[in-house]
Amino acid sequence: MTFARFKELFRQTLTDPRGAGLEVIALQLPVQALWMALMLTSVLLSLMVSALFHSAPLPGDEMGELIRMSPAYRAPLVFAIINWVQAVVSVFVLHWIGRGLGGQGEMPDMLAVLIWLQVVSLAMAVVLFVVGLVLPLLGGLAMIVAFLWGIWATVALIDAANRFDNMGKALGTCVLAVLAVSIGMTILSALLAGLGLRGA
């Protein structure tokens, strides 16, 4: 992909994420390269979050203490690995649920659009960070807009990957995926806690 093509896809993603997702899928990138790209983008995003936590003074209240105790602040590498694992799980869960709701996409399609979403999110995070340093008030408003855009773009890209005929199914896929991952993480945490108690 040339830099000019990258910029064109980036601009299209901001206004027509579903169309951009279909363009990314049409590139037919090698699956092995996509898995490597998923790991790279997940790690970069995680390290950027950690860098943001360390670059700004933390509040002295409970929120600040929670940030200090989080893996993102105390163990950036562990935080990056956790996010990478969650990204891999998300690819499979979103694909399986999408198939269950009548989607026609393939696993590499879901993988490609999620990677592209992370690439765009990474670029936007850099811009928002710079804007926040120069104009804090504008940066705060931009973060709210970016959050709302992120929800819309995620649903649209999931719609593209599953070849749905309406955005409602894509939204349902996202909601069910969040619930499935949350329940799975809760069960896993409970099992790990149980093993810890037995070991003690």
| pLDDT tens column, 163-189 | 997 889 999 999 999 898 888 777 766
Q: Give the pLDDT of residue 173.
A: 92
| pLDDT given at position 197 | 46
Residue 3 has a pLDDT of: 78
Q: Name the pTM for this structure.
A: 0.82
Q: Which regions in the chain score pLDDT beneath 50? A: 197, 199-200
Q: Is-contact 169 162, C-beta < 8 A?
A: yes
Helix %, strand %, coil % for the chain, to 5? Answer: 85, 0, 15
Phi/psi at 104 (nearest 5 deg)? -115, 5
Q: Which two tokens stand for residue 19?
A: 């169309």
Instruction: Give the phi and the psi of residue 120 in degrees, each rounded to 5.
Output: -65, -40
